[in-house]
């Protein structure tokens, strides 16, 4: 599913392809998506990422805010065939961008163009002092906190599991019990893992594809996610799976304390 590295990959590809283009028209195929046809005629100024949201900045101080949720894809197409599960099409002079989304969780809306990026993104700008004051003492599991957008933007289930494995911290630890050194380790390993995943154009465990419908390469780098019963790359012990907040957590109980 698209998390920070996948959305960043899409934004970079979209910026190269679509910045400066005029939107000829926009076609909605799913009644769950409302009120976005008014972007007809607008020129795309920039494409940016805010957490897991793709912001397509337009020339009238508004932005199209696209969130892919679970199975959403944005695909650049030079031909005009419609694939199954296409929910939205943005048409340019010679090509289109399709939102394809089998489970229909993705959202598209028009917002006033946001100016300041959130200070919760470890790969862009992270307000560590605000985090330590407002989030670090919470009584939730560190795994749940990593996935909470109020604390960290862009981290979902796959990268939360991978970050905790690299930091050698158990996903069941209550956030408030972590030492300053452990927080530092989490910040450092999170940045390392997210940046590497961007370099690999994301993790294609199941659905993820980039703008050109290509899988990423980061699935070969995973230490724990989706590897239940397999050997931990650090210690050789078996990876275990459990449930936290209704979501699967993969971890190595020998390495992660």
Indicate if 247 belongs to the active site.
yes
- Say if CB 56 and CB 44 are below 8 A apart: yes
User: Cα–chain-centroid distance for residue 69?
Assistant: 8
User: Considering only 74-82, 100-108, 114-122, 190-198, which stretch makes contact with DNA by CB under 7 A?
Assistant: 100-108
Task: Assess whether 32 carries a catalytic annotation.
Answer: no
CA dist 175 and 78 (Å) reads: 48
Q: How many residues interact with DNA (rule CB under 7 A)?
A: 29
Residues 140-169 that bind DNA (CB under 7 A): 140-141, 144, 147, 149, 156-158
> Of all helices (H) and strands (E), which one includes residue 75?
strand 73-77
3 is catalytic: yes
State in angstroms the smallest separation of the CB of 251 from DNA: 13
Asked about 52 being catalytic, the answer comes back as yes
End-to-end C-alpha distance for the chain, whole angstroms:
27
Distance from C-alpha of 161 to C-alpha of 176, rounded to nearest angstrom:
19
Greatest distance between any 2 Cα atoms in the chain: 58
* Options 12-20, 33-41, 121-129, 135-143: segment touching DNA (CB under 7 A): 135-143
According to DSSP, residue 220 is labeled G
Distance in Å, CB of 69 to DNA, minimum: 5
Among 42, 52, 89, 227, the one annotated catalytic: 52
Q: Candidates 12, 15, 17, 85: give the one binding DNA (CB under 7 A).
A: 85
Distance from C-alpha of 137 to C-alpha of 99, rounded to nearest angstrom: 39
Shortest Å distance, C-beta 102 to DNA: 4
Q: Which is nearer to DNA, 19 or 149 (CB)?
A: 149
Q: Among residues 101, 70, 106, 223, which one has the least CA distance to residue 160?
A: 223
Task: State the residues that interact with DNA by CB under 7 A.
Answer: 1, 3, 32, 51-53, 67, 69-70, 85, 102-105, 138-141, 144, 147, 149, 156-158, 243, 245-248
């Amino acid at each position: 599913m698209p998390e920070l590295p996948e959305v960043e990959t899409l934004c970079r590809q979209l910026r190269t392809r679509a910045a400066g283009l005029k939107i000829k028209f926009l076609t909605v195929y799913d009644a769950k998506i409302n009120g976005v046809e008014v972007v007809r005629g607008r020129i795309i100024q920039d494409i940016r990422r805010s957490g897991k949201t793709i912001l397509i900045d337009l020339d009238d101080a508004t932005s199209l805010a696209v969130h892919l949720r679970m199975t959403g894809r944005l695909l650049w197409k030079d031909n005009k065939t419609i694939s199954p599960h296409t929910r939205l099409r943005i048409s340019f002079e010679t090509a289109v961008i399709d939102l394809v989304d089998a489970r229909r969780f993705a959202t598209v809306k028009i917002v006033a163009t946001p100016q300041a990026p959130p200070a919760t993104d470890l790969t862009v700008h992270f307000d560590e002092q605000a985090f330590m004051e407002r989030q670090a003492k919470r009584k939730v599991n560190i795994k749940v906190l990593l996935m909470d957008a109020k604390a960290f933007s862009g981290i979902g289930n796959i990268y939360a599991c991978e970050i905790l494995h690299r930091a050698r911290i158990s996903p069941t630890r209550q956030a408030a019990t972590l030492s300053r050194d452990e927080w530092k380790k989490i910040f450092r390993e999170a940045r390392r893992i997210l940046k590497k995943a961007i370099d690999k154009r994301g993790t294609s465990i199941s659905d993820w594809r980039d703008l050109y419908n290509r899988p990423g390469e980061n699935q070969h780098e995973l230490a724990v996610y989706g590897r239940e019963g397999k050997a931990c790359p650090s210690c050789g012990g078996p990876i275990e799976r459990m449930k936290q907040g209704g979501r699967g957590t993969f971890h190595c109980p020998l390495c992660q304390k």
